[in-house]
């Protein structure tokens, strides 16, 4: 099957043998009529994993099923849902998909099956209801449908805020299905975690206890992930018992060639992949090609049209930015077989049924083992033989994988990570309070300590208000601010010269790709961005002038970073690392027009003013000494190290490169490199590298030192994300700089670059500012949680010390409270908030009756100082206890 590839590029070929199916029975309670209908469709028995999962669901247990593509996961939830609807037409089910296209696909499949069943009390309504559904239709659909197919965004923005408009739906809600749940990670995952807790809260209000069913790609931690995402216990079904056809996997490295001036260069990966698509389509094989970016999709398609004109009309592009109508049209043409091939971003990675494909070409590693198998799973879905070609992109990780296939096959699937963070809770609690008043019972949905701190913070900033005092309940102080689950950036629509919507861009991409003067390729046409209407969020296009054909544009972006607050600092031998709050400013200052044919570059000023991007975030930054480098190498070495960190850190913290931003500053012998979250308010990705920064720098050194190139290449320091077009980079400088940092050669201590705003506090105003304050609170809670563990361990010894020093003056409870306060202060080095002290005493001693009296007596007798806000030991008391333990240590 791999014979149509250029044989010089094939590193290795591997065959995955076909797998035989294992079967199990239908669980009890499935109607005979449904079993007969499934038998007519060829499903006379279930795969063993389907039988196990459906059995758990029909017994009322939450289930996550994590098996490979084409394993029949949709039948796992369809059988219990249809069985319940067959017996009780008032049953309701909620199907949630992160992508509308997948929801449309499932609606069609479920309706097709439902049409063949003889329903005793009428066929249930199964329909989509999402942001594309008109306001007038929503109430009728939600109140009358047995199965509603929607997105997390619609639940967040409409279904929950207006829950009183459709009480019957929530009362009858028996099943909640979350399909392709592994996609819900990062920023969107943290938001969805909150949405699902709000959903459970509303269900409880109406007396519903729905069973949650999660379907995911194969991941390493299904039970843990499902529990974190929903806050519920789960049964995990992981067995692969479906039949699968033979798969051939080819690892491919685009061949090199020699230029006229004697240089050796490598063929562009996406051009090589496009040529492969052409060959396979011409040979009659239905093919899908995955690309890492929208621009690469369009560029590959143009190369295909240029080299294989006979495929015109048989192959199309597909991107998530296309209009919904255009995407539905392409999906239908793929499913019906009218198209023989498609070149796409990861928008078709999800379980959308795009028909009978048998060849998958990946123009670059998908970023994770799980995603790679998801993309590969688009082919061979009917058990036929299939071919998967992984072509190395110009990226160090890509080259490593195609040269070490044993690593790819031997690696376990990645974990899907999502966690409850206060930064997201403070966004969602005002919405939850508007849906139903907040009360102490809500700690059933959110972790108690974080919940109460978030409520206090929101009261402080006027986002919540006290409704009743006994018991305490809270409502939203104003109309809550709605926001997107998918990031803070506004969405802009591009209009072609005829006024039709062509694509959609978020504002970050407008600044980078769709600015006035930019050349935009869309499908088989080339456009020029004429102007942007910022009020209407419209990008107006015009046809590309004849004289600009064969050109492309590249934005010139000016970035500026300001340190707003330093939270943590650690001094290593030859560098210093900080973590804290940053402010990011990005402005569009012009663009470069590159004429490929004439080999010219011209820089142009903006055709119209373009709004800059400003947002606060969290990150880390390194202060580095450059005195071991000659002046000519300093900037280039730091630039190269910034690239290396941008390569290695995402692999360490399990995120995509685009989730992180990177910047640098060089002043004389001192440099500062920033790595930060690309999201307003931050989400903790970059900060998680703080503790392991030395090991990360070691990996950077191994990567650049171990690369066989001479002056730097895409396998080490050249990355496609560079806004300076990978100019002024030095591999030699990076090696010397890292050697000095890591003590592999002597390096003088540096004087760090300072910022006028360091250690300033930020007044919380916007949602992003409140998220940053929530982040600081959460870090404090984590610090005190460690301190309480320390206190619990050492409390008996300190209590004995206090008794020996002040036994006659203190009763037992007072001595214990004083010992707890001493241990907390010793561990954190600062005064202790009153709420923390009270919680620590309760956790360490299991008593709280004498707490207030003991606290007042210790303060009146001169042992402690402070108010209910925070407490500290008087200097003489801490000195006495410290001295006691020093003497004991000497003895």
CA-to-CA distance for 678 and 616, rounded, in angstroms?
10
Does residue 545 lie within any of the structural domains? Answer: no
Final residue of a structural domain among 361, 376, 410: 410
Does residue 50 lie within any of the structural domains? Answer: yes
Residue 723, pLDDT above cutoff 80: no
Answer yes or no: pTM beyond 0.75.
Answer: yes
How high is the pLDDT of residue 757?
43
Q: Tell whether 576 and 691 lie within a shared domain.
A: yes
Does residue 213 lie within any of the structural domains? Answer: yes
Q: Tell whether 351 and 460 lie within a shared domain.
A: no
User: How far, CA to CA in Å, does 622 sit from each of 564, 672, 750?
Assistant: 15, 5, 11
CA-to-CA distance for 799 and 813, rounded, in angstroms?
10
How high is the pLDDT of residue 808?
80
What's the whole-number mean pLDDT along residues 765-770? 78
How high is the pLDDT of residue 445?
97
Q: What pLDDT, in 10s, does the model give residues 663-696?
A: 999 999 999 999 999 888 887 889 989 988 999 9
Q: Which of 15, 13, 29, 51 is nearest to 174 (CA)?
A: 29
Q: Tell whether 714 and 847 lie within a shared domain.
A: no
Query: What's the domain range around 806?
Result: 777-890
How high is the pLDDT of residue 543?
95
**Is residue 317 very low, low, confident or very high in pLDDT (cuts 50, 70, 90)?**
very high
Does residue 746 lie within any of the structural domains? Answer: no
Residue 206, pLDDT above cutoff 90: yes
What's the whole-number mean pLDDT along residues 592-621? 90
Output the average pLDDT for the chain. Answer: 89
Between 428 and 650, whose confidence is greater?
428
Q: Tell whether 255 and 278 lie within a shared domain.
A: yes
Final residue of a structural domain among 359, 380, 410: 410
How high is the pLDDT of residue 754?
41
Does residue 515 lie within any of the structural domains? Answer: no
Q: Tell whether 233 and 287 lie within a shared domain.
A: no
Q: Tell whether 710 and 814 lie within a shared domain.
A: no
Q: Tell whether 568 and 661 lie within a shared domain.
A: yes
Residue 886, pLDDT above cutoff 50: yes
Q: How many structural domains compose the chain?
A: 5
Q: Tell whether 670 and 806 lie within a shared domain.
A: no
Residue 105, pLDDT above cutoff 80: yes
How high is the pLDDT of residue 708?
77
CA-to-CA distance for 33 and 298, rounded, in angstroms?
49
How high is the pLDDT of residue 607?
86
Residue 747, pLDDT above cutoff 90: no
CA-to-CA distance for 145 and 138, rounded, in angstroms?
11
Does residue 147 lie within any of the structural domains? Answer: yes
Q: Which of 120, 190, 203, 111 is nearest to 159 (CA)?
A: 203
Q: What pLDDT, in 10s, does the model give residues 272-286?
A: 999 999 999 999 999
Residue 755, pLDDT above cutoff 60: no
- Least trusted range by pLDDT, from 202-206, 402-406, 441-445: 402-406
CA-to-CA distance for 612 and 616, rounded, in angstroms?
14
How high is the pLDDT of residue 400?
79
Residue with tokens 């949709």: 74
Q: What is the DSSP string of 751-796?
A: -PPP-TTTT------SHHHHHHHHHHHHHHHHHHHHHHHHHHHHHH
Whether residue 110 contacts residue 78, with contact meaning beta carbons closer than 8 Å, is answered with yes
Q: Tell whether 678 and 819 lie within a shared domain.
A: no
Does residue 577 lie within any of the structural domains? Answer: yes
CA-to-CA distance for 625 and 629, rounded, in angstroms?
9
Between 164 and 766, whose confidence is greater?
164
Contacts of 396 (CB under 8 A, 6+ apart): 647, 703, 707, 714, 715, 716
Final residue of a structural domain among 410, 439, 468: 410
How high is the pLDDT of residue 645?
93
How high is the pLDDT of residue 168?
95
Q: Tell whether 263 and 193 lie within a shared domain.
A: no
Q: Tell whether 622 and 681 lie within a shared domain.
A: yes
What's the whole-number mean pLDDT along residues 349-356? 72
Residue 516, pLDDT above cutoff 60: yes
**Is residue 765 very low, low, confident or very high in pLDDT (cuts 50, 70, 90)?**
low
**Is residue 714 very low, low, confident or very high in pLDDT (cuts 50, 70, 90)?**
low
Residue 841, pLDDT above cutoff 80: yes
**Is residue 82 very low, low, confident or very high in pLDDT (cuts 50, 70, 90)?**
very high
How high is the pLDDT of residue 724?
67
The CATH number for 148's domain is: 3.40.50.300
Instruction: Dig out the tokens for 838 from the structure.
Output: 């009270």
The CATH number for 870's domain is: 1.10.10.10
How high is the pLDDT of residue 720?
64
Does residue 292 lie within any of the structural domains? Answer: yes
Q: Tell whether 444 and 356 lie within a shared domain.
A: no
**Is residue 749 very low, low, confident or very high in pLDDT (cuts 50, 70, 90)?**
very low
How high is the pLDDT of residue 542?
95
Between 315 and 726, whose confidence is greater?
315
Contacts of 706 (CB under 8 A, 6+ apart): none
């Amino acid at each position: 099957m791999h014979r149509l590839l250029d044989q010089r590029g094939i590193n290795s070929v591997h065959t995955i043998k076909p797998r035989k199916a294992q079967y199990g029975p239908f669980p009890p309670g499935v109607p005979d009529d449904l079993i007969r209908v499934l038998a007519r469709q060829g499903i006379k028995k279930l795969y063993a994993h389907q039988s196990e999962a459906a059995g758990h669901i029909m017994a009322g247990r939450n289930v996550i099923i994590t098996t490979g593509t084409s394993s029949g996961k949709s039948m796992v939830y369809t059988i219990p849902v249809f069985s319940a609807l067959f017996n009780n037409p008032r049953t309701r089910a909620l199907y949630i998909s992160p992508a509308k296209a997948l929801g449309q696909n499932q609606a069609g499949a479920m309706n097709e099956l439902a049409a063949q069943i003889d329903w005793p009390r009428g066929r249930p309504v199964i329909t989509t209801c999402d942001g594309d559904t008109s306001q007038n239709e929503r109430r009728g659909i939600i109140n009358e449908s047995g199965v509603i197919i929607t997105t997390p965004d619609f639940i967040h923005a409409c279904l929950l805020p207006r829950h009183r408009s459709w009480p019957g739906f929530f009362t009858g809600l028996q099943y909640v299905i979350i399909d392709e749940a592994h996609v819900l990670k990062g920023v969107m995952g943290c938001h969805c975690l909150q949405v699902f807790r709000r959903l459970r809260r509303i269900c409880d209000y109406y007396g519903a206890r729905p069973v949650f069913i999660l379907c995911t790609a194969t991941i390493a931690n299904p039970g843990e992930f499902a529990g974190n995402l929903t806050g519920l216990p789960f049964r995990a079904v992981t067995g692969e018992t479906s039949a699968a056809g033979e798969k051939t996997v080819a690892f491919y490295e685009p061949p090199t060639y020699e230029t006229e001036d004697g240089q050796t260069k490598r063929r562009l990966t996406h051009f090589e992949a496009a040529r492969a698509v052409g060959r396979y389509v011409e040979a009659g094989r239905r093919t899908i090609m995955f690309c890492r970016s929208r621009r690469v999709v369009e560029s590959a398609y143009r190369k295909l049209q240029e080299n294989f004109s006979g495929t015109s009309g048989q192959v199309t592009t597909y991107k998530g930015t296309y209009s919904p109508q255009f995407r539905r049209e392409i999906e239908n043409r793929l499913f019906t077989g009218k198209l023989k091939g498609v070149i796409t971003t990861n928008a078709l990675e999800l379980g959308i049924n795009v028909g009978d494909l048998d060849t998958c070409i990946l123009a670059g590693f998908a970023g994770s083992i799980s995603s790679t198998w998801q993309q590969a799973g688009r082919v061979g879905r009917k058990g036929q033989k299939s071919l998967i070609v992984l072509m190395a992109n110009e990226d160090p990780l890509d080259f490593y994988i195609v040269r070490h296939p044993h690593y790819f096959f031997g690696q376990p699937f990645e974990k899907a990570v999502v966690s409850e963070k206060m930064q997201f809770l403070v966004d969602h609690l005002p919405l939850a309070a508007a849906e139903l008043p907040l009360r102490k019972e809500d700690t059933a949905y959110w972790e108690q300590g974080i919940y109460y701190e978030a409520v206090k913070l929101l009261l402080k900033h006027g986002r919540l208000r006290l409704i009743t005092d006994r018991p305490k309940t809270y409502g939203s102080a104003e109309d809550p601010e709605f926001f997107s689950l998918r990031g803070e950036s506004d969405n802009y629509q591009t209009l072609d010269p005829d006024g039709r919507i062509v694509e959609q861009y978020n504002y970050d991409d407008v600044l980078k790709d769709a600015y006035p003067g930019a050349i935009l390729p869309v499908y088989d046409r080339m456009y020029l961005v004429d102007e942007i209407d910022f009020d209407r969020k419209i990008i107006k296009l015009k046809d590309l002038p004849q004289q600009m054909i064969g050109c492309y544009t590249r934005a010139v972006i000016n970035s500026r970073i300001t340190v707003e607050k330093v939270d943590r600092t650690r001094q290593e031998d030859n560098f210093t690392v900080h973590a804290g709050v940053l402010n990011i400013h990005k402005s569009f200052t012009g663009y470069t027009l590159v004429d490929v044919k004439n080999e010219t570059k011209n820089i142009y000023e903006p055709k119209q003013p373009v709004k800059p991007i400003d947002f606060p975030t969290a990150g880390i930054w390194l202060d580095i000494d450059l005195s071991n480098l000659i002046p000519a190498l300093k900037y280039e070495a730091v630039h190269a190290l910034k690239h290396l960190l941008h390569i290695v850190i995402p692999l360490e913290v399990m995120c995509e490169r685009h989730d992180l931003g990177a910047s640098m500053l060089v002043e004389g012998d001192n440099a500062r490199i920033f790595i930060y979250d690309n999201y307003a308010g931050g989400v903790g990705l970059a900060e998680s590298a703080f503790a392991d920064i030395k090991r990360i720098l070691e990996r950077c050194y191994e990567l650049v030192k171990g690369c066989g190139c001479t002056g730097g290449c895409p396998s080490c320091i050249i990355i496609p994300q560079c806004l300076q077009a990978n100019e002024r980079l030095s591999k030699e400088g990076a090696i010397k700089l890292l050697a000095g940092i890591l003590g592999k050669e002597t390096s003088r201590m540096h004087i760090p670059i300072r910022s006028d705003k360091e250690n300033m506090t930020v007044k919380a105003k916007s949602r992003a500012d409140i998220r940053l304050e929530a982040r600081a609170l959460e870090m404090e809670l984590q610090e005190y949680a460690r301190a309480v563990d320390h206190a619990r361990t050492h409390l008996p010894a300190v209590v004995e010390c206090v008794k020996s020093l002040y036994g006659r003056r203190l009763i037992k409870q007072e001595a214990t409270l004083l010992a707890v306060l001493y241990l907390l202060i010793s561990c954190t080095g600062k005064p202790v908030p009153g709420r923390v002290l009270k919680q620590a005493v309760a956790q360490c001693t299991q008593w709280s009756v004498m707490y207030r009296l003991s606290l007042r007596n210790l303060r009146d007798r001169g042992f402690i100082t402070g108010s209910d806000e925070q407490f500290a030991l008087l200097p003489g008391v801490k000195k006495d206890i410290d001295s006691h333990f020093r003497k004991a240590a000497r003895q």
